[in-house]
Chain A
Amino acid sequence: MKSLYSLLIAIALISFSACSEDDANSNEGTLALEFDNIVGTSNLELNTANTPYTNSNGEAYKVTWLTYYVSNVKLKREDGTIYEDEVKADGSAGYYLIDESDAESQQVVLKNVPKGNYTEITFTIGVDASQVDEGAQTGPLDPAKGLFWSWNSGYIFMAIEGVSPASTETDEAFQYHVGGYKEDVSNVNLVNNMKTITLNFGDVAPVKPEHQPEVHLVFDVNKLLNGTGESVTFATNASRHSPKACEDLAGNITAAFEVDHVHAN
């Protein structure tokens, strides 16, 4: 009798706990973002043997490094409500370092997203002033990642390097390190190059328990090098490191991102 009683209690406990788990899960799910870096119609490959890509000024090039910070991700649901990915002041949440040489970094999984049909995303390419003012950060913002420019302006939030025969720099290199997070009326050299980008999916990403929709975004290097901001010529300027020098290039960033497709899963 005792053992049956215990068994009943055990069953009751298990089913109650199962119930509470369901309650927590049934309102939330996850959504994956895939950042795919391309060059026009080709996939981006780093460190190719030759220079397979061509910019809009007919200059051949290859890419050796492409990386950028994504932060402050927001998702918009069909009904207009917005979910904001948590951002922590010390950099331990909300900042993602997308690095072409690190395949894992190119997928960002957003957790605890309220269920529903999502149609739009907003995100920032940049690292804002607070991350410098608060001192050393951790995670993706760890200065050891090599994107922190301690001497002066703080974080480089988008970097692209490569080689082109058109470049007059050492080893025919081109280097564009885009930083700059603050504007200052008293100093024209300080510009805010951070970009906030909003993209409509053109489709629906349904978030619900036990399903993970994927939103595939593409970043087109050719559009970074050629857009309404400017049309880059390696021959005239292959090395840009200050916020002012990257201002025009940064103007191309927004249009270089697009939603390619969505997997509802």
Chain B
Amino acid sequence: MRKQAVYVLALAGLISCGDADMSPDNPYAFEHPDNFPDPVYTFENNEITREGFELGRSLFYDPILSIDNSISCANCHQQVVAFSDPVHRFSRGVNDKAGFRNAPAIQNMAFQGDFFWDGGVKHLDFVPINAITSEVEMGETLAHVVGKLQNSEVYREKFTKAFGTSGIDSQQVLHALSQFMNMMISSNSRYDKYVRNEGETLTAIELEGLSLFEKKCASCHTTDLFTDGSFRNNGLDATFEKDRGRERITELSEDRGKFKVPSLRNVELTSPYMHDGRFETLEQVLNHYATQVKDSETLDPSLKTEVVPGISMTDDEKIKIIEFLKTLTDREFIKDSRFSRPRK
């Protein structure tokens, strides 16, 4: 009798293990927040699985992606600040080299079709290639990284478990990283819970800030992604010899000085601000829009609606807008252990 009970238990154990992916509380299921637009990532080519996600997570935190084993993705993209750089205006890569643009946050990537400040990369799968092959970031080549992974028994096993084949190629590396990044959804800020009627209330000041935000900021920072994904010149400079922005990609002069409108989610955490991190505080950002916008041929039309270029706001209004922006901080996202450094 006892023997039979053991067999039944064992069988039950096997069955429950096998169907883990289908349970409603599956931590590896991509959940589309109700207040977000549809994702654009090509999931049909790369579905998220537990093994693929965990492999991507291992790679994200592993400096093996860099030429001298010193720099991992997590060096410049740290969870505590929504996967932006908590310290540097320009992140430090191998040999302490620095780039010329501020590391953006990694969040809600499945909903984006243009990556980097100038939209040079159009699919999430290809984003890591830039960091891996940049001389000032990881200084590697894709082929060499694949070789290093193939030499590791631990990784060979992980790749086989994730993709079912015996070899490792760069498609698998990039797919694993995409699976990890696609799961990084930030949609549980106080604002989200308020807007989805999940029992959160905003203070009077925060609500006034929201109203002001909708009037003054939401033409570009729109939808609950807080960006329309477009490229605009927001008047940071009058000339752009140092960094031509989007023009570098399209080679069209009408794109000079245009940069991607960033999402404002977690903006309280992702200082410094703008493509070159020139503003340390949100106060400085709003001061820029209020009185420091510089005109040029490509200045965005939305900044030319008033007598003087920019968006006029009183000091009191600035305070309220900033209070509202702080409600976009998602403390669940930055503490979510699924995205933390894996324990060996």
A146 and B143 in contact (CB under 8 A), knowing A134-B45, A135-B42? Answer: yes
Bound-state Cα–Cα, A190 to B250, Å: 8
**How many whole Å from A55's CB to the nearest CB in chain B?**
28
Q: Which of B46, B120, B122, B171 contacts A142 (CB 8 A)?
A: B171
> B126 to chain A: which residues have CB within 8 Å?
135-136, 143, 148, 150
Per-residue CB proximity of A144-159 to B under 8 Å, as 1/0?
1110101110000000
Q: Which of B146, B171, B251 contacts A136 (CB 8 A)?
A: B171
Bound-state Cα–Cα, A146 to B251, Å: 23
> A190 to chain B: which residues have CB within 8 Å?
250
Bound-state Cα–Cα, A146 to B143, Å: 8
B174 interfacial by beta-carbon distance below 8 Å: yes
> A203 to chain B: which residues have CB within 8 Å?
none
A150 and B121 in contact (CB under 8 A), knowing A138-B169, A189-B251? Answer: yes
A135 and B45 in contact (CB under 8 A), knowing A143-B129, A152-B249? Answer: yes
B73 interfacial by beta-carbon distance below 8 Å: no
Per-residue CB proximity of B137-149 to A under 8 Å, as 1/0?
0000111001000
Residue of A134, A151, A189, A242 with highest tally of chain B CB at under 10 A: A151
* Interface positions of A from 122 to 148, Cβ below 8 Å from B: 132-138, 142-146, 148
The answer on a CB contact under 8 Å between B174 and A143 is yes
> A242 to chain B: which residues have CB within 8 Å?
251
**How many whole Å from B298's CB to the nearest CB in chain A?**
15
A138 and B171 in contact (CB under 8 A), knowing A143-B129, A143-B142, A148-B129? Answer: yes
Closest B residue, CB atoms, query A92: B171
Bound-state Cα–Cα, A135 to B169, Å: 14
Per-residue CB proximity of B20-64 to A under 8 Å, as 1/0?
000000000000000000000010011000000000000000000
The answer on a CB contact under 8 Å between B142 and A136 is no
A90 interfacial by beta-carbon distance below 8 Å: yes
**How many whole Å from A178's CB to the nearest CB in chain B?**
16
> A152 to chain B: which residues have CB within 8 Å?
120, 249
> A189 to chain B: which residues have CB within 8 Å?
250-252
Bound-state Cα–Cα, A218 to B76, Å: 49
A3 interfacial by beta-carbon distance below 8 Å: no
Bound-state Cα–Cα, A133 to B113, Å: 10
A135 and B123 in contact (CB under 8 A), knowing A144-B143, A146-B143, A148-B129? Answer: yes
Bound-state Cα–Cα, A107 to B123, Å: 32
The answer on a CB contact under 8 Å between B120 and A144 is no
Q: Which of A90, A134, A187 contacts B250 (CB 8 A)?
A: A187
Q: Which of A90, A132, A143 contacts B170 (CB 8 A)?
A: A143
> B178 to chain A: which residues have CB within 8 Å?
135-136
Interface residues on A, range: 20 to 34
**How many whole Å from A103's CB to the nearest CB in chain B?**
20
Per-residue CB proximity of A227-265 to B under 8 Å, as 1/0?
000000000000000101000000000000000000000
Closest A residue, CB atoms, query B178: A135
Q: Which of B45, B130, B250 contacts A150 (CB 8 A)?
A: B130
Per-residue CB proximity of B144-187 to A under 8 Å, as 1/0?
00100000000000000000000001110011001000000000
Bound-state Cα–Cα, A206 to B46, Å: 41
B125 interfacial by beta-carbon distance below 8 Å: yes
Bound-state Cα–Cα, A22 to B260, Å: 62
The answer on a CB contact under 8 Å between A133 and B123 is yes
> A132 to chain B: which residues have CB within 8 Å?
122-123
Bound-state Cα–Cα, A151 to B169, Å: 20
Bound-state Cα–Cα, A187 to B120, Å: 15
**How many whole Å from B99's CB to the nearest CB in chain A?**
13
Bound-state Cα–Cα, A187 to B46, Å: 31
The answer on a CB contact under 8 Å between B251 and A244 is yes
B124 interfacial by beta-carbon distance below 8 Å: yes
The answer on a CB contact under 8 Å between B174 and A136 is yes
> A136 to chain B: which residues have CB within 8 Å?
46, 123, 125-126, 170-171, 174-175, 178
> A148 to chain B: which residues have CB within 8 Å?
126, 129
The answer on a CB contact under 8 Å between B121 and A151 is yes
Closest A residue, CB atoms, query B134: A151
Closest B residue, CB atoms, query A90: B45
Per-residue CB proximity of A57-91 to B under 8 Å, as 1/0?
00000000000000000000000000000000110
The answer on a CB contact under 8 Å between A144 and B252 is no
The answer on a CB contact under 8 Å between B252 and A134 is no
The answer on a CB contact under 8 Å between B42 and A142 is no
Residue of A89, A133, A144 with highest tally of chain B CB at under 10 A: A144
> A144 to chain B: which residues have CB within 8 Å?
141-143, 146, 169-170
Bound-state Cα–Cα, A187 to B42, Å: 26
* Interface positions of B from 247 to 271, Cβ below 8 Å from A: 249-252
Task: Enumerate 28 A-B pairs (CB-CB under 8 Å) in ascending A order.
Answer: A89-B45, A90-B45, A133-B123, A134-B42, A134-B45, A135-B42, A135-B125, A135-B126, A136-B125, A136-B170, A136-B174, A136-B178, A138-B171, A142-B169, A142-B171, A143-B126, A143-B142, A143-B170, A143-B171, A144-B143, A146-B141, A146-B142, A150-B121, A151-B120, A151-B121, A152-B120, A190-B250, A244-B251
The 7 closest A-B pairs by CB, nearest first: A135-B125, A136-B125, A144-B170, A136-B174, A144-B142, A150-B129, A138-B171
